[in-house]
């Protein structure tokens, strides 16, 4: 099992904070550092990732996640080639349809077909091959070593796309085995439709987590992330049975959601979901309570667990993950 963390660099945080956090995470056992890419509500991800590449040696780095709506595929390909050069081959391109980056400027996320076409275009550019863009032959002269492409997905068609064309999938759902197994099965279907198997796709599960001795405080801490998930679930055309009882909460979260308070601890829309749903979808509390929630996930085909690194004492949070939680997870893996 590998471990990652994901964070959004808020407008109030110095951009040099991320390289320090990535370096510390590397030291305590993390394998990958994702940085949110949302141009209207956070500091520039690519500048911070490049700076982090110069302060780390082993940890992989990537935007969590980019989209082809606000960044043209050729621009994104060239940017990732540069990050891969600076990091000596440690770049990973996380890409999805677009969420807060597109909604805050009033445009729509990419469709499944658009994302497929753009991912295939970027692959060709990474390989130094020629593609056609706007009826014009195009080739990336800076191409070097290909950068792995992981598609962020939550719903069936996007999950199947990741299985069919991507090197990896970022599974966006939550720390709930029923949802996650349902999602991974769709990745498997997509892989098999392209003559591949699930083993050909690296599976990275993201979930909200707050490791704290006070369970009630931890649940409130992770509430903004859980609200964001509720808002996303409201858009799902098909819901796994395990989340059906919360359907009304999803609709309320969607109607009240303010993208300029995305993942903010002060977001008013966070009151639209119940404590029961927060506890259902996220991981919160002391290490022993957290490992009990995570343990059933270890029986699934998951290659990496990525923890959301919430604001407020990020260095301390990273330390506790590395020193207390990761060893418990590894021990559980060994005794399966």
Residues 151-163 pLDDT 10s:
999 999 999 999 9
Give the residue-averaged pLDDT of 31-37: 98
pLDDT-derived band at 234 (thresholds 50, 70, 90) equals confident
Instruction: Give the pLDDT score at 335.
Output: 79
Torsion of CA 54, 48, 174, 318, to 10 degrees: 60
Query: Per DSSP, what are the bridge partners of residue 307?
Result: 5, 207
pLDDT-derived band at 229 (thresholds 50, 70, 90) equals confident
Q: Where do we find the tokens 């068609």?
A: 157
- Domains, the chain, with CATH or none: 2-217+284-334 (3.20.20.30)
pLDDT-derived band at 236 (thresholds 50, 70, 90) equals confident
Report the DSSP pairing between strands 136-139 and 149-153.
unpaired
Encoded tokens for 300: 């699934």
* pTM for the structure as a whole: 0.94
Q: In residues, how long is the chain?
A: 336
Per-residue pLDDT tens over the stretch 67-91: 999 999 999 999 999 999 999 999 9
pLDDT score of 270 more than 80: no
Torsion of CA 70, 251, 265, 329, to 10 degrees: -90
Instruction: Give the pLDDT score at 231.
Output: 83
Instruction: Give the pLDDT score at 262.
Output: 65
């Amino acid at each position: 099992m590998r471990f990652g963390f994901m964070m959004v660099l808020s407008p109030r945080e110095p951009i040099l904070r991320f390289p320090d956090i990535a370096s510390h995470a590397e030291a305590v056992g993390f394998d990958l550092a994702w940085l949110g890419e949302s141009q209207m509500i956070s500091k520039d991800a690519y500048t911070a990732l490049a700076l982090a590449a110069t302060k780390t040696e082993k940890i992989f780095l990537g935007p969590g996640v980019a989209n082809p709506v606000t960044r043209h595929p050729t621009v994104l390909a060239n940017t990732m080639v540069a990050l891969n050069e600076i990091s000596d081959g440690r770049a990973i391109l996380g890409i999805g349809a677009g969420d807060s980056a597109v909604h805050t400027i009033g445009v729509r996320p990419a469709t499944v077909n658009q994302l497929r076409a753009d991912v295939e275009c970027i692959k060709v550019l990474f390989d130094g091959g020629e593609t056609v863009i706007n009826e014009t032959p195009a080739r990336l002269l800076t191409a070097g070593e290909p950068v792995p492409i992981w598609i962020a997905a939550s719903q069936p068609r996007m999950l199947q796309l990741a299985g069919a064309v991507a090197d990896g999938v970022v599974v966006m759902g939550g720390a709930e085995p029923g949802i996650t197994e349902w999602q991974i099965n769709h990745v498997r279907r997509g892989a098999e439709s392209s003559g591949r198997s699930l083993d050909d796709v690296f599976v990275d599960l993201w979930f909200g987590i707050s490791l704290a001795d006070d369970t009630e405080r931890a649940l409130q801490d992770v509430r903004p992330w859980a609200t964001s998930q509720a808002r996303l679930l409201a858009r799902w055309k098909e819901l796994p049975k395990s989340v059906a009882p919360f359907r009304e909460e999803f609709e309320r979260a969607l109607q009240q959601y303010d993208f300029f308070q995305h993942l903010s601890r002060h977001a008013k829309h966070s009151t639209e979901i119940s404590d029961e749903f927060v506890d259902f979808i996220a991981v919160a509390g002391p290490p022993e309570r957290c490992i009990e929630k995570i343990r059933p996930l270890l029986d699934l085909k998951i290659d990496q667990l990525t923890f959301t690194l919430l604001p407020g004492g990020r260095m301390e949070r990273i330390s506790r993950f590395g020193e207390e939680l990761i060893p418990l997870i590894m021990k559980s893996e060994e005794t399966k």
